[in-house]
Structure 1
């Protein structure tokens, strides 16, 4: 039962990141109308740079796909980690309204990483 719940959490987490990554290429989800001014300026800066959003989108799509597949879940989690840290810090510094959702996603990511901790042990030797 625990493995099924963990698989469903990983599947939903991966699908969420695939969706977010694809949106950075196809822009099918509109920006919220009530976005704070600080966030609007930050998003405008990211879009102005030009290469950050496609790079982040590619990492989110690839990481989300890898997280869905049990054999590659550890690699996907390590790919998504910097993106997730950025999401969490943005929600802490810029606008705290999305912080509960970001915190839940971060906890899910950490639990995925803890589930696969034996695969990370060579990194720390």
Structure 2
């Protein structure tokens, strides 16, 4: 039962990130009209850095696809984690109305990482040459 719930949650999580990443390339979701001024300035600054938005979009799409498949979920969760921290910080400092959703997504991301912690152990274990 836990595996089915985890799969559904990871599927929805992955689809949300795929959608967000594709939107960075194709701009099919309109920006909200009532966006705070600080958020507008932040988005304008992000747009000035020409490579940042496509990079984040690429990581979101690839990470979202990887999270859906159990075999690659650990890699996808780690790929999305820095983006998720950025989303959380933007929501804390510029758009607090999105903070509940950001916290839920962060919790799902951390849940995936904890669920796959054994796959990360070879990267952090002390090895001798």
- The TM-score with structure 1 as length reference comes to 0.98
In structure 2, the residue matched to 1:77 is 77
Q: Does 1:103 align with 2:113?
A: no
Q: Distance in 2 between matches of 1:95 and 1:63?
A: 24
In structure 1, the residue matched to 2:5 is 5
Quote the offset at 1:8 in angstroms. 0.1
Quote the offset at 1:94 in angstroms. 1.2
In structure 2, the residue matched to 1:32 is 32
Q: Which runs of 4+ in 1 moved over 6 A?
A: none
Q: Distance in 1 between matches of 2:87 and 2:123?
A: 24
Query: Structure 2 matches for 1:82-93, cutoff 5 A?
Result: 82-93=82-93
- The structure that has the greater radius of gyration is 2
Quote the offset at 1:59 in angstroms. 0.3
Structure 1 residue matching 2:33: 3-state secondary structure = coil
In structure 1, stretches of 5+ residues that fail to align are: none
- The TM-score with structure 2 as length reference comes to 0.95
In structure 2, the residue matched to 1:56 is 56
In structure 2, stretches of 5+ residues that fail to align are: none
Quote the offset at 1:65 in angstroms. 0.3
